[in-house]
Structure 1
Amino acid sequence: MSAEAGHGPRLRDLLAPPARRRLDELTAEISATPSAVATRFPAAARLVARGPVRPGDPSGLLGPTLEDLVRLVLLEALRDALADVPGRLAQEVTALYRFGDSDEKRAVLRALDRLDIGETAHDLLGDALRSNDPRLVAAALGPGGHRHLDQAGWRHGVLKCLFLEVPLAAVHRLAERADPELARMVGGFVVERVAAGRGVPADAWRVLGDHPPTVRALRAELRSPHADRRTAAELALAQRRDV
């Protein structure tokens, strides 16, 4: 099953035999009647399987859940069934996202690297990054976001992760794509947090490293007349040493 490649353990290895048979039935149904996806995609978790794939990640922040993988298989069946119908796949995927609950939206976002739907993918990712749902933001920074977001949109997504305290381990190929402009933006975020007397996510230092302007600004805050800002700067600089 090609949909499983690159998404951790093979899905069929995670499913009990009855769940495998049910997944095969749903896949065959969508292959024969693509419009069936409108009812089968939402029901996939109930009909086949749900739950975490990674220990300690029940909400799917760091990678797909079991129901995400099941829905990915259904979306690939839909993609193949509509290969000769231009534009239809994008319409169906958009409807599944727009009318889906948060779990269904997350599954669509996690499947975008496997679906050739052009600008529609960018639009859906943009919608997810405008939300304040950590699960959607994390999913938008997965392989689909890496493929479809331009650099400006991707940087915005990384910053949104920090605002929502989504672990940057959720960002696909962070080190490969991070650049000086992202460091500048994260530096501004760190300084603003400290100036407000708030703590800084330790993950910020994964991006900043030894970013000199931020380090200088934090050291200046150590001389602030405001005790909360001094304390926040001390904590931020301690995190930098610990990371």
Structure 2
Amino acid sequence: MNDSALLLEKIKSQASTKEINWITSKINTGSLQSLQTAFVATPRFISKNPVQSLDKINGVSFDNWTLDRLVRVYLLTQFDSSDKSAYTKAIDTLFDTAENNEAVALISALSFLEFPDYWQLRATNAVRSNIGPVFDAIAFQNSFPLNHFSELAWNQLVLKCIFNDKAIHNITGLNERANQELANSISYLAHERWAAGRTIPAQAWRLVSRFMNEVIFADIQHLFLSENESDKIAAVLVCNETDFALAKDELEKYRDLNQEVKSKAITWQTLEN
């Protein structure tokens, strides 16, 4: 089955007969205008019940989604894309007139839309958004940044999450897209925060393990001396993951904590909580 069919199966497993009949009636009309209208009207006919599903589709997780959001995304997959100009214009119109919940659905749908290069600006604008739910829709459980963002755009997304103390482990592809420039930026941010008597979320250090250098190693030594237990846990986790020789030597000073990591009693998931 294609992504659209999988979305419909997920909807059918949770929607009422009345809701399914409404969706079917809108799909059968077929025109872009009628589907636009249905997208806007969805909350009048579809519940906001939480989506009960752990299965991903096209790398997208549906944690914290509601049924009306899922239906809206499905409706967007029914837009006829044979005429690129008409297709993108119809969806652009929805973007340009969207209230917050509609914007969240549109951003959530990016991984399912045709012509992904066309939607790059919409996606990066969502990263810059000051509207929390819109930013979260691009940052979390969304495979579009993983698959289509440049390194610069990716790093901006991750750093904004770190800066705002958001749960970076919910970013799809977090470890796969880790890079040296991002590791350096995390180090720079930490230095700024420390100079101001503040900290950064301990989770952020999971992104530096493969990119250790002398500057970042000094940061890890700083974490070991922190009064914050989470910082110490992050330091020992990084030292276990890196190939940097001095980091391996540093572990000898913290054998008890290192043993907890070796036994899997402590993992990055410990810091996610």
Query: Where on the TM-score scale, by shorter chain, does this alignment land: which range?
Result: 0.7 to 0.9
Task: Answer yes or no: is the 8 Å Cα contact 2:220–2:235 preserved in 1.
Answer: no
Code of the residue aligned with 2:161 in structure 1: it is C
Q: TM-score normalised to the size of structure 1?
A: 0.78
Task: Answer yes or no: is the 8 Å Cα contact 2:110–2:116 preserved in 1.
Answer: no
Task: Answer yes or no: is the 8 Å Cα contact 1:106–1:136 preserved in 2.
Answer: yes
**Greater RCO between the two (CA within 8 Å, min separation 6)?**
1
Q: Equivalent residue for 1:126?
A: 124
Which one has the largest radius of gyration? 2
Task: Out of 151-160 and 127-136, give the one that drifted further.
Answer: 127-136
Q: Equivalent residue for 1:86?
A: 84
SS in 1 for 2:24: helix
- Partners of 1:129 and 1:237 lie apart in 2 by 31
Give unmatched runs, 5+ long, in structure 1: 224-229
Q: Equivalent residue for 2:27?
A: 27
1:75-98: CA deviation from partner (whole Å, max 9, x where unpaired): 0111xx2x3323111112122122
Identity of aligned residues (%): 23
Task: Answer yes or no: is the 8 Å Cα contact 1:94–1:120 preserved in 2.
Answer: no
SS in 2 for 1:52: coil
Code of the residue aligned with 1:46 in structure 2: it is R
SS in 1 for 2:84: coil
Q: Equivalent residue for 1:158?
A: 158
CA 1:203/1:93 → structure 2, altered by over 3 Å: closer, same or farther? farther
User: What pairs with 1:165-184 in structure 2 (closer than 5 Å)?
Assistant: 165-184=165-184
Deviation of residue 61 (structure 1)?
Answer: 9.1
CA 1:113/1:235 → structure 2, altered by over 3 Å: closer, same or farther? closer
CA 1:238/1:147 → structure 2, altered by over 3 Å: closer, same or farther? closer
Q: Equivalent residue for 1:185?
A: 185
1:21-66: CA deviation from partner (whole Å, max 9, x where unpaired): 112122223x1x21123332122123122233269xxxx9956432
Q: TM-score normalised to the size of structure 2?
A: 0.70
- Partners of 1:203 and 1:62 lie apart in 2 by 21
- Partners of 2:166 and 2:67 lie apart in 1 by 20
Q: Equivalent residue for 1:135?
A: 133
1:164-207: CA deviation from partner (whole Å, max 9, x where unpaired): 23312331121122122221122222232222222322321231
Deviation of residue 239 (structure 1)?
Answer: 4.4
Task: Answer yes or no: is the 8 Å Cα contact 1:128–1:136 preserved in 2.
Answer: yes
- Partners of 2:171 and 2:24 lie apart in 1 by 31
User: What pairs with 1:1-243 in structure 2 (closer than 5 Å)?
Assistant: 2-3=2-3, 10-29=10-29, 31=30, 33-53=31-51, 64-78=65-79, 81=80, 83-141=81-139, 142-209=142-209, 211-212=212-213, 213-217=215-219, 219=221, 236-241=231-236, 243=268
Say how many residue pairs are matched: 227
CA 1:217/1:86 → structure 2, altered by over 3 Å: closer, same or farther? closer
Deviation of residue 216 (structure 1)?
Answer: 0.9
Task: Answer yes or no: is the 8 Å Cα contact 1:12–1:20 preserved in 2.
Answer: yes
